Amino acid sequence: MKIYTRGGDQGATSLLGNERVQKSDQRIAAYGTIDELNAVLGVARAEGLSPKCDEIILRLQNQLLDLGAELASPDPEAAKTRILQAEDVDQQEEIIDELEQKLTPLTYFILPGGTKAAAALHLARCVCRRAEREIVDLAQQTSVREVVLQMVNRTSDLLFVVARTANAEADTPDMPWTKSR
């Protein structure tokens, strides 16, 4: 299989099922941002995470490819891309709860940063929030399963907690926000 096909040289691309759409299509924006999120998670993993955090993020990266496939499918049922289920959201919540039990409760807003890995996870959280907005826009145009929106919403929460965990494991405190005036 060749990397280049020249099929997109005029600004169109194929969805799963071979429907052609413009690269500016909202569906392309949504799964493209999920792909960007996955790449930022790769950066976080490359910066070095504990085995536990790395396992969480690796699993999430695979789930994001599942999610991207569903978003790239005008008919996820026919394309067999309806992979994510409510249990996946439940599992994210369990991981969040487990990690939060080991963290100092927050009573203030924190600045993104800390270790390089944590900073990359905070960036990933921001990209995830953008993906969520784009998926909400897509859902106003076409059917998007509720579990997709739930998964992306919970993913940003998970990334926040994993970033805090990465800092805590490195004995790097979260930096509190102080108002500039």
d(CA 15, CA 73): 6
Q: Which residues contact 75 (CB under 8 A, 6 or more apart)?
A: 17
d(CA 124, CA 160): 9
Domains recognised in the chain with CATH numbers: 14-172 (1.20.1200.10)
Give pLDDT tens digits for 45-87: 999 999 999 999 999 999 999 999 999 988 778 778 889 999 9
Q: Which residues contact 28 (CB under 8 A, 6 or more apart)?
A: 13, 21, 22
- Taking the whole predicted model, whether its pTM rises above 0.85 is answered as yes
Give pLDDT tens digits for 149-169: 999 999 999 999 999 999 999
d(CA 111, CA 113): 6
- Give the closest residue to 41 by CA, choosing from 23, 67, 13, 71: 67
Give pLDDT tens digits for 82-105: 899 999 999 999 999 999 999 999
Quick one: CA torsion of 17, 19, 22, 24, rounded to 10 degrees? -40
